Amino acid sequence: MPDFRSDTVTQPTAAMAAAPLGDDVFGDDPCVNALQAHAAALLGFEAALLAPSGTQTNLIALMGHCQRGDEAIVGQSWHTYRCEAGGMAVLGSIQPQPVETQADGTLRLADIAAAIKPDDPHFARTRLVVLENTTGGQVLPTPYIADVAQLARSRGLALHLDGARLFNAATAHAETHGTDVYDETHAICRHFDTVSVCLSKGLGAPVGSLLLGSQDFIRQAKRTRKILGGTMRQAGLLAAAGQHALEHRVRRLADDHALLRRLAQGLAELGRSHRVLQGRISVASAHTNILFTDVQAETAPALLDWLARHGVRVTSGLYGSQVRLRWVAHLDLTPTDVDQTLTCLEAFRGA
C-alpha cells in the first residue's frame, strides 16, 4: 500500500533493539548522551537536547527566547503558528506576530522589519524571529537566511529555525551546488541561535526531535522540557534510532527527492493527456520530498475514493476552490510504488 501521507509513517530501524540503556532523567543514558553530543558537533552548536516531538522542541525554544508578554515573529502558514495548537500563547504566554508567507516560502524582509514593535509599554516586546526550512517542501535560500539574521541582529532579536526537514533543505542545496549535505547543513545552522531538527520525518526515526543551542540555553531547555512533561527515562531506544538516522539516512534523502520528481512528472503528464484528469489536475509545486497537486472540486471526491479503494494513501484539503493533495516521498517508498500509483491514476475513469 503506497503511503504518501507523510514521511512520518516510516517503520523503525533494528538499531533500537541493541541499544544500551540508562535513565535519561539522571543523565546516564549512553545513547541519549551520545546522540546529543553528536548532533551538536555535527550542526555546530555547543549542546543539544532530545525531546519527544518537534512541536515540543519548538515550544521549548520559544519559551527560552521569550518571557511572558513577549512576542515572536512567525510565518502566517508555518508550523509554529498554525499547527502547534497555539502552544506559545497557551503555555508560554508569548504573543505570535504572524507575517504573510510569500509564494517562494520566504517572509519579506520589509514585512519582518515592520512587525518589530517599538520599545513602548503599549506593545508586546518583540524578542524573536522564527524561520521554517523547508516550508511546504520549499527551500529557503541561504543568502536570504543571512539577510534575515542580519536584520534580527541589528534589532537585537534572536533567531530560531524550525528545521523539521532541515536535512532536506541541505540536500537540495548540495544537489544544486555539488557540495556535501553536511557542509550545507552546517552553513544553514550557523545563522541561528537555536535550531529544532526532527528525527522522525525524512530521517525515518520512529520518535524524537532535537533542540540545539548554547550550553546555557540547553541547560534552561532541560528545565522547560520537564515542565512540559517531555522528560523520558530509557530514551536510549529512541536515541539509538536517531543516531542511526543521522549517520546513515541523511545522504539517502536525495533518493526521496528523485522519487518525488518522478511522481511529479507522471502527474503532470496525466494533467496534460488523461481523458478525465486533463486540465483538472495540476502540479502546484515540486520541492524536496513534498509535492502538492490541485484537483478541481467536482473531480476530487471520485479521485480520492479511487485512490483509497486501490490502497494509495494521500492527505487532502480545500485550497481555494480546488482540493489540494499532498504527496510526501520517504524511505519506505520505492520507484515501483510510484509507478503503480501512476498506473492506478491512468485507470481512473471518473465518477
279: left (phi over 0), alpha (psi -120 to 50) or beta: left
The β-bridge partners of 212 are 48, 195
Q: How far apart are the first and last CA of the chain?
A: 23
Across 189-199, average pLDDT: 98
Does 62 lie in the same domain as 191? yes
User: At 251, which amino acid appears?
Assistant: R
239 shares its domain with 265 = no
Give domain status of residue 7, yes or no.
Answer: no
**Dist CA 274 CA 312 (whole Å):** 19
For the sheet with 281-287, list strands across it.
Answer: 281-287, 290-296, 322-328, 315-319
Task: Return the SS3 of 208.
Answer: coil
In a domain, 340, yes or no: yes
> For residue 13, is pLDDT > 90?
no
My answer on whether 31 and 118 are in the same domain is yes
Bridge partners (DSSP) of residue 350 are none
Within a domain: 168: yes
Tens of pLDDT, residue by residue over 296-327, are 999 999 999 999 999 999 999 998 899 999 99
Same domain, 208 and 263: no
154 with 112, same domain: the answer is yes
Q: Kindly state whether residue 140 falls inside one of the protein's structural domains.
A: yes
Residue 351 is assigned to a structural domain of this protein: no
Listing DSSP states for 246-308 in one string gives HHHSSTTHHHHHHHHHHHHHHHHHHHHH-TTTTTTEEEEEEETTEEEEEEETTTHHHHHHHHH
Encode pLDDT of 82-129 as tens digits: 999 999 999 999 999 999 999 999 999 999 999 999 999 999 999 999
139 belongs to a structural domain: yes
Q: What is the pLDDT of residue 16?
A: 79
Q: Which of 191, 223, 248 is the last residue of a domain?
A: 248
Q: How confident is the model at residue 17 (pLDDT cuts 50, 70, 90)?
A: confident
Position 240: which residue type? Answer: A
Q: How confident is the model at residue 232 (pLDDT cuts 50, 70, 90)?
A: very high
Whole-prediction pTM = 0.96
Check if the beta carbon of residue 129 is closer than 8 Å to that of residue 112. yes
Statement to judge: residues 170 and 287 lie in one domain = no
The CATH number of residue 312's host domain is 3.90.1150.10
- 119 and 205 in one domain? yes
Give, for 62, the enclosing helix (H) or strand (E). helix 54-65
Query: What's the mean pLDDT when you consider all of the chain?
Result: 95
Q: Domain check: are 231 and 186 in the same one?
A: yes
Same structural domain for residues 185 and 308?
A: no
CATH number at residue 37: 3.40.640.10
Among 248, 282, 316, which residue terminates a domain?
A: 248
200 part of a folded domain:
yes
- 212 and 66 belong to one structural domain: yes
Contacts of 222 (CB under 8 A, 6+ apart): 49
At 23 the pLDDT is: 86
Please compute Rg for the chain using Cα positions: 21
The pLDDT assigned to 71 comes to 98
- How many domains would you assign to the chain? 2
Range of the domain at 122: 14-248
Say yes or no: 88 and 228 in one domain.
yes
Same domain, 276 and 140: no
What is residue 285's predicted lDDT score, i.e. its pLDDT? Answer: 75
Using the 3D structure, point to which of 225, 248, 271 is the last residue of a domain: 248
State how beta strands 209-213 and 290-296 pair: unpaired
Is residue 4 situated within a structural domain? no
Backbone φ and ψ of 338, nearest 5°: -65, -45
